[in-house]
Amino acid sequence: MSRMQKIELSRLRFADHVRAGDVVGWPQGPGEPLALTTALVAQGAELPRPDLLFGLTQSDVVRPELAAHFGIRTLNGAGTSRRVTAQADVFPAYVSSLPGLFREGLLPLQVMLIQVRPLPDGRYTLGVISDFTQAMIQAARVVVALHNPALPLTGGDAVVDAGDIDVLVESDTRLIDMPDPAPSEVEIAVARHVASLIPDKATIQLGVGTLPVAVAQALSGHRELGVHSGVVSDVLVDLVERGIITNAHKGRDAGKTVTGGLFGTQRLRDFAERSGSVEMRSADYTHHIGVTASLQKFFAINSAIEIDVTGQINSEVAAGRYLGAVGGQVDFVRAGIASPGGRSVIAFPSATPDGKVSRIVASLDGRPVSTPRAEMDAIVTEYGVAHLRGCGLRERARRLIAIAHPAHRESLESALAARLKQEGLE
């Protein structure tokens, strides 16, 4: 058990804790301790050029100028992390694998920055994050924690023992808000098709962003849904308050919304603390196939940058930039298919907002295959649903082209014919 050192924020000097060759990390999204990451960057010239490791970020701390004093490692290009992926070493990994990678030292991490709030029993809560944060804490040589009394009092895997904290810094109340964005008319049309696939009493998984918001809004006529998700946003509160989410028929965790992150605003944080119906769990649980496959009617709803006509998904690279993630997509795709009565749904607009670039393509042309075609189930655009399970390559191409943007269907047909000939299938 470590002996916790308590200091004021103004006295924190990272040079006392960071060694040459160290990797310094912090949690994703709202779990980022802003006062600590801001101080770390400000003191960069005093440090022996450590590497920084982070996932999705939403703060202004991450920017290209960091490369002057730090190496950069990132788990994805989501949020503001995409500002630095050109300078970064990107680590592609399923979310389900991340706890083990940290614990085994395959993803090295020596210094971990977190924010916490004391609990009545002498332990601390991370409040808004649990995902793979515990594994990062366990892997680190030094854990620097910021006391943030604005965090919600949550339990489960968000709880940290006092003995895991080496330095407790007093204090700062800033939190990162992630308000739900407004979906476009096209995304609303996509969401209607997604909602039509989901039966009452299903358990759903949604991410964050405009399309998940649109899907949640399209579920207004549904009843007695459950939620098991890597992260949740403010729309969860809307669905619970309207009686759409009850978590009564999940097959496990009855009455509980299970998640690894509160990616919302004060409204969501207050709800999580007040209701007692949000269970914060680590990725060892939220993304574990043994757990998710046991959920009843589990509908995994994810998105993509593009899909080729054979069903290969790219969720990482667009226009030559690393903007997305491997993330938990494959974990949840497999879960939806394995769940009794469940489905996996990949949903996205058929083209870019100007309509000029199709997101259903003849070939990925060397861009990443984030989710392989053998995992595909239902693909949704604003033009309908392509059911791909059990389909051969020709039939799935026909179904995907049928839901492509009309302006691109003819060129996809021509490109498909050329591809089939090249692969010896024509």
What's the whole-number mean pLDDT along residues 306-314? 96
Q: Mean per-residue pLDDT for 335-361?
A: 97
Q: How confident is the model at residue 425 (pLDDT cuts 50, 70, 90)?
A: low
Distances 422 to 373, 415, 426 between C-alpha atoms, Å: 19, 11, 8
Domains of the chain: 5-170 (3.40.1080.10), 185-422 (3.40.1080.20)
Asked if pLDDT for residue 352 goes beyond 80, the answer is yes
Q: Say which residue, 394 or 98, is predicted with more confidence.
A: 98
Q: In what order do the strands lie in the sheet with 278-280?
A: 278-280, 257-259, 226-229, 203-205, 298-302, 343-347, 378-381, 384-387
Q: What mean pLDDT, rounded, does the chain reach?
A: 96
220 close to 192: Cβ distance less than 8 angstroms: no
Ramachandran angles phi, psi of 240, nearest 5°: -70, -45
Task: Please list the residues that pair with 280 across neighbouring strands.
Answer: 259
* Residue 3: predicted pLDDT: 81
How large is the average pLDDT for residues 299-319? Answer: 96
The DSSP output letter for 340 is: T
CB neighbours of residue 248 within 10 Å: 11
List, for residues 129-184, the tens digit of each pLDDT value. 999 999 999 999 999 999 999 999 999 999 999 999 999 999 999 999 999 999 99
At 1, the pLDDT band (50, 70, 90 cuts) reads: very low
pLDDT per residue as tens digits for the range 253-263 = 999 999 999 99
What does the pLDDT average to over 222-227?
98
Indicate the burial class of 333 (C-beta count within 10 angstroms; 0-12, 13-18, 19 or more): buried
Closest CA to 382 of 411, 347, 345, 344: 347
Counting Cβ atoms within 10 Å, is residue 241 exposed (0-12), middle (13-18) or buried (19+)?
exposed
- Taking Cα atoms as reference points, which of 114, 113, 160 lies closest to residue 14? 113
Does residue 28 surpass a pLDDT of 70? yes
User: Which pLDDT belongs to residue 419?
Assistant: 72
> pLDDT tens across 240-255, in order?
999 999 999 999 999 9
- Whole-number Å distance between alpha carbons of 280 and 287: 13
Interval 29-76: pLDDT, tens: 999 999 999 999 999 999 999 999 999 999 999 999 999 999 999 999
Helix (H) or strand (E) segment spanning residue 381: strand 378-381
Per-residue pLDDT band for 2 (boundaries 50, 70, 90) equals low
Percent of the chain exceeding pLDDT 90 equals: 94
Q: CB–CB of 169/8 below 8 Å?
A: yes
